[in-house]
Structure 1
């Protein structure tokens, strides 16, 4: 019976002069809300300016669900076979494995919708661009609540993050994670490698922890963290670590969206309310709330000075960059 429902004829979408063919448009990707593959494509088309800005010229890993959420998830680094010639890629290396991969490199909305045709639900870009993939231009502050951490605590920590960023003269661009946390992005000058950006992110996380010790942890291993606290996950700035982009749908039953918000919304936002059903109208009303991100560039030099100070004062080694701190 499931296959019978997938027998609808393909739908052709005109995307800025390109034709993207969506096969099996009625395949249900999100059974809990009845959202289909075509619904997913139409969602991404509705936030086109925002999703392209979030992904533009970044190596991008795809989280694909060939049978929808009822089936298995595929973590796809290499571009899927069958791409039309206008879909662009960027080659990245994985030194640990002595391998390379040609990853999707979005430059236009049609590439996003082609990835949806290839069953992509989530888009996970690098924090660097193809002009120099080894030098990030985006610092990512991931406010990751532990299992017993209430969302009110996430809100409080976000306010501290905002306070510290203001003191540094850095502009932070908040968004929901699409899960239980919040992300804040800061555009940075691409003057440093991943190691330095991670050191800067750790120094910032430690400062937030100093100001909110009852709410925040920077403890490396998940098993050693207080389950009621929020982890400021600086390791999301390590090489080849990715998180869902702004406007990416998440592969969860409610089809939540990692959604840009204003700072004055943090106190009241309910992330579960931001879904593929609700975000298009919000986008139509507000536009892309991250539209100015590329003009607000920050130098991480002050944070590297903080990192030097912390290391002189004997701050503990947080752990290796290439090991997942969240493993059991």
Structure 2
């Protein structure tokens, strides 16, 4: 639930008043010691703010909480800058101020009045220095605001006592009244550094107004040398040739434009009649906000004392066709920005990467460049599951809001160094030229074509008729919960355990789970499919209410489909560690069986969280390519 902007403090018996905390808004879900902690845009905070996650485990009930994560300075005041660099400020108090409870003991509370929700909240929270109840005063908003201002806090939130919780909406039942003028802003470009300044001079700022990006000023203060470098490195992959603004922007030095997807926070003195921020000071990045959410200025009305146009920024206009600078080279690649893309050298091959700033996830600001960076990072983990396997290319060159298309016959159009193999396709009744993804350069080439997800065959070119593993795809209907998907996976594991077969589980990256059984290319697809069907039927007998082997959507009757038919030559599934073109930018992620329990959810494993997970877990799927399963012995055990 979001707040509207309030004009000034007030007194009212129907309202209560809370401190407006200067941090990251965070929702916590606790269920039987399983914890989720995430931002408004779905970014997981579990690893970033691990002490909060650990403390949440002390809550034994099923709850969903809403609050703000802050880091306190030497004066016990929230510091947004220190929160930004928490790794360097771990000696500072980290606090999760909780102000609302949306679920308690598996009951939805959002329909209850705020007063009742807060009474429940105060009782359920453990005694803790990290998780704290965000208290309030009633009725006397004016005196409370003056106290908040004296303490140098950002402001207060006024909330109607009898208000229900309206998720995702900006409501007049909550009002934010600020002591300090702060504003979220979209970074649209940066100017050349001057004198002794390194990396860049100022950031060009914007926000959306009726769907169009509007210039609101630029900021050149508030940066340390380290922050300048971090911001510059963040913006390099987003460089574009033209200005993202429709209007001409007044700046006083050459500009490098970037895709408008990164959000920062600034403080400022006032706003002009033209909507320009006066004296904006950079405070930090907003990793918890998407650019499309920045569509209003957090001041109710323009200040009548605003400066005239003569004193507002107004130097020469920069053409929308300003030429960006060259991009510095990476560790194993060189890069520059010609008109038709970035040239990158990978594994000795020259690779042209185009439209790196194109936004693939509009609500999250995730770009094509982010996708390529993700695959470059996790390449050592994913390549064993791609090498020597024909690829059915699923391309989403326009991002996730477009359905995309499959592109099988792609080998002839690929660069000369990309390996490919012609194979006769029964479905197409012709020879199809399949790409083989055998190295990093080929993987990035596929990403550049718009391949968000990677879909290899189950068999390799040396044994195309004999898969390396069999697969059981647990495919839920829209009516099934993910806990039911987990129940189905555990039923399959029970059957496999009785058979003496080792099953490896991973998220599909969308709504289901995949279970792989290693075969080491010992059996043909018919044998693999027959065994998979037996396992699926035995598991289905355990859960007839929620599972089915019926492939027809109309006949499934809102049950989970236990799909064993993926075990055919040419059939593909998203690879382990493959991104998926779905809302949360989730990744098909291998799991331990200890993790496969109620409370698990695919949204825990995303483009932003997976690399860090892999440093802790390593490749949990390695046994899939190394182990052998004796299907004849397994059948005998099941028969017994």
TM-score range, shorter chain: 0.7 to 0.9
Q: Is the 8 A contact 2:390 2:436 kept in 1?
A: yes
Distance 1:20 1:263, change over 3 A: farther
Shift of 1:168: 2.0
Q: Of the two structures, which has the highest relative contact order with CA contacts closer than 8 Å and spacing of 6 or more?
A: 1
Q: Is the 8 A contact 1:52 1:107 kept in 2?
A: yes
C-alpha separation in 1, matches of 2:363 and 2:431: 38
What corresponds to 2:579 in structure 1?
249
What corresponds to 2:478 in structure 1?
147
What corresponds to 1:325 in structure 2?
none
C-alpha separation in 1, matches of 2:628 and 2:396: 36
C-alpha separation in 1, matches of 2:458 and 2:534: 18
Tell me which moved more, 134-143 or 293-302. 293-302
> Superposition pairs for residues 57-96 of structure 1, below 5 Å?
57-79=388-410, 82-96=413-427
Larger radius of gyration: 2
Shift of 1:250: 0.9
The size of the alignment, in residue pairs, is 307
What corresponds to 1:35 in structure 2?
366
Computed over aligned residues only, the root mean square deviation of the Cα atoms, in angstroms, reads 2.5
Shift of 1:265: 0.9
Looking at secondary structure, tell me which structure has more helix per residue. Answer: 1
1:192-229, CA deviations, whole angstroms, 9 ceiling, x for partnerless residues? 332332222111100111223233211232211231x2
SS of the residue aligned with 2:594? helix
C-alpha separation in 2, matches of 1:87 and 1:255: 27
Shift of 1:153: 1.0
C-alpha separation in 1, matches of 2:345 and 2:616: 23
Q: Is the 8 A contact 1:141 1:234 kept in 2?
A: yes
SS of the residue aligned with 1:93? strand
Looking at secondary structure, tell me which structure has more strand per residue. Answer: 2
What corresponds to 2:566 in structure 1?
236
Distance 1:43 1:96, change over 3 A: closer
Shift of 1:90: 2.5
Confirm or deny that 1:49 pairs with 2:380. Answer: yes
What corresponds to 2:629 in structure 1?
298
Q: Is the 8 A contact 1:32 1:254 kept in 2?
A: no
Shift of 1:304: 6.5
Aligned partner of 1:164 among 487, 495, 501? 495
Aligned partner of 1:194 among 500, 525, 530? 525
> Superposition pairs for residues 107-146 of structure 1, below 5 Å?
107-146=438-477
Q: Is the 8 A contact 2:349 2:441 kept in 1?
A: yes
1:171-203, CA deviations, whole angstroms, 9 ceiling, x for partnerless residues? 212110111110011121424332332222111
SS of the residue aligned with 2:561? strand
State TM-score, norm by structure 1: 0.85
What corresponds to 2:351 in structure 1?
20
Distance 1:305 1:104, change over 3 A: farther
State TM-score, norm by structure 2: 0.45
Q: Is the 8 A contact 2:501 2:634 kept in 1?
A: no
Distance 1:305 1:146, change over 3 A: farther
Shift of 1:126: 1.2
Aligned partner of 1:217 among 539, 544, 548? 548
Q: Is the 8 A contact 2:411 2:433 kept in 1?
A: no
C-alpha separation in 2, matches of 1:212 and 1:38: 43
Shift of 1:167: 2.1
Tell me which moved more, 288-297 or 15-24. 15-24
Shift of 1:131: 0.7
SS of the residue aligned with 1:134? coil
Shift of 1:278: 1.2
Distance 1:104 1:174, change over 3 A: same
Distance 1:193 1:292, change over 3 A: closer
Q: Is the 8 A contact 1:196 1:304 kept in 2?
A: no
Shift of 1:88: 1.1
C-alpha separation in 2, matches of 1:283 and 1:262: 13
C-alpha separation in 2, matches of 1:14 and 1:230: 46
C-alpha separation in 2, matches of 1:220 and 1:34: 36
